[in-house]
A = this chain, B = another copy of it.
């Protein structure tokens, strides 16, 4: 069975897991990563977020609008360049950060069940290599 098929199946199940476990907080699998990043780097610009995640800008904007509406994130226009926005976590985001990390770790543990330490290392390395190929060879 092909690599593409297994990517698709696995990613669908991962998203389902995140959706299910993040639903109580009103966020989904496509929004959680912004909360993590903004808690990690308060004041990060929207442009930088787009660069870091290789996500289409319109999808990033939509996700951030939702997180702002739900009170997780606030925007401030950038002092140096008024056309840009800086993003800051609200208290709700800080509260959720630990929970998101926990859910992601659990999902990862489900995926890697039965892997030896060496297999985990190999898989992580090869997956990253494939991912970098995807980023550089396949434009979004």
Residues of A that sit less than 8 Å from B by CB: 1-18, 33, 53-55, 104, 107-108, 110-115, 119, 122-124, 126-131, 133-135, 137-140
Indicate if the CB atoms of B111 and A14 lie closer than 8 Å.
no
- Inter-chain CA distance A12–B60, complex, in Å, is 14
The list of the 6 closest CB pairs from A to B, nearest first, reads A13-B134, A11-B11, A6-B131, A110-B137, A123-B126, A13-B138
Given that A138-B13, A140-B16 are contacting pairs, would A133 and B112 also be in contact in the complex, using a CB cutoff of 8 Å? yes
* Distance between A55 CB and nearest chain B CB, rounded to angstroms: 7
CB distance from A117 to the nearest CB of B (A): 13
Q: How far in angstroms is the closest Cβ of chain B from A131?
A: 4
Chain B residues near A18: list those with CB within 8 A: 4
Residues on the B chain within 8 Å of A114, using CB: 129, 133
Within 8 Å CB of A15, what residues of B?
8
22 contacts between A and B (CB under 8 A): A3-B123, A3-B127, A4-B18, A6-B128, A7-B7, A7-B14, A7-B127, A8-B14, A9-B135, A10-B131, A10-B134, A13-B134, A13-B138, A16-B138, A16-B140, A17-B138, A107-B138, A110-B137, A123-B123, A123-B130, A126-B126, A127-B127
